[in-house]
Amino acid sequence: MRRSDRIALISKTLSENPNKVISLNYFAKRLGAAKSSISEDLDIIKNAFINAGEGEIVTIPGASGGVRYRTQRSKQDIQKFLQDFCKILQEEKRIIPGGYLYMTDAVFSPVYSRIIGEIFAQLFIDCNPTHVLTVETKGIPIALMTARALNVPMVSARRDSRVTEGPSVSISYVSGSGQKIHNMSLAKRALPENAKVLIVDDFMKGGGTARGMMELAAEFKAEVIGTAMVVTTAVPKEKLVRDFTSLLILERIDTNEGKIYININDKLL
């Protein structure tokens, strides 16, 4: 096999397996080449990716070593994506009677959810999360894509508990407005003890649901290493959770004007 063929295949394998350590032996065996040649191939790919802002390839030395590809977007790229995403969310047709913002299609899109998941992964990868936790339903696509970029399992709590999930831990939590009590449950076998959990959801207003997930994580003796939201409302300013990261801030929805005021969180970058 020629070098150019190997470069095509190695680039594909790395892109498809973010944050997974792949041994040089694997590539050498699969591509029928010496480890030294694979090593040279990897240097070429590494430089090509870095120079194009297409993520980083890190060599991990030692017996269990290999190479690992991680998405790594520049501040400018993230800003550009979020600007475009804001524009999409500002379309007038997204205003739902009652003054809500319809964004299900956007967070369910495989294209946007992948990019958002990669941004979340990039923001929290240094905290070494072992699991991504969300609660059904709307957070699942983003949580899945975050888990994919981190190469860890995704775990979703349910609003009800199901017999097909086996024994589960349930908690009650209060919505941010304090007016409603909800339930959330997670199958016992879904999360091992001492997990390091990244909480992911699409939308936060009062923070009740996020707080609920934190309390649920505590029941599993898990450590919450971060809370990542796609959109957080500006009001109420005080949320039930203190530390969270939000990509976008929904300032307000003017139903008379038909306008949605939503901005990039300027503390983010």
Chain residues in the site for a copy of itself (CB under 8 A): 1, 3-9, 11-12, 14-16, 44-45, 47-49, 51-52, 54, 93, 96-98, 100-102, 104-105, 108-111, 113-114, 136-137, 140-141, 144-145, 147-148, 151, 153-156, 158, 163-167, 187, 189-190
DSSP element (H, E) containing 249: strand 245-254
Question: In degrees to the nearest 10, what's the CA dihedral of 55, 250, 100, 109?
Answer: -10
Nearer to a copy of itself, 8 or 234 (CB): 8
Distance in Å, CB of 164 to a copy of itself, minimum: 5
Distance in Å, CB of 93 to a copy of itself, minimum: 7
Distance in Å, CB of 162 to a copy of itself, minimum: 9
Nearer to a copy of itself, 63 or 111 (CB): 111
Contacts of 134 (CB under 8 A, 6+ apart): 140, 142, 143, 154, 155, 156, 157, 199, 200, 201, 213
Q: Which of 73, 67, 19 is nearest to 43 (CA)?
A: 67
How many C-beta neighbours within 10 Å does residue 13 have? 17
Nearer to a copy of itself, 8 or 269 (CB): 8
Q: Which of 224, 225, 228 is nearest to 247 (CA)?
A: 228
How many C-beta neighbours within 10 Å does residue 25 have? 12
CA distances from 208 to 87, 181, 239, 251, 254 (A): 28, 10, 8, 19, 24
Nearer to a copy of itself, 173 or 203 (CB): 203
Distance in Å, CB of 266 to a copy of itself, minimum: 26
Distance in Å, CB of 187 to a copy of itself, minimum: 7
Tokens 């409603």 map to which residue?
Answer: 180
Distance in Å, CB of 8 to a copy of itself, minimum: 4
Nearer to a copy of itself, 21 or 268 (CB): 21
Nearer to a copy of itself, 110 or 178 (CB): 110
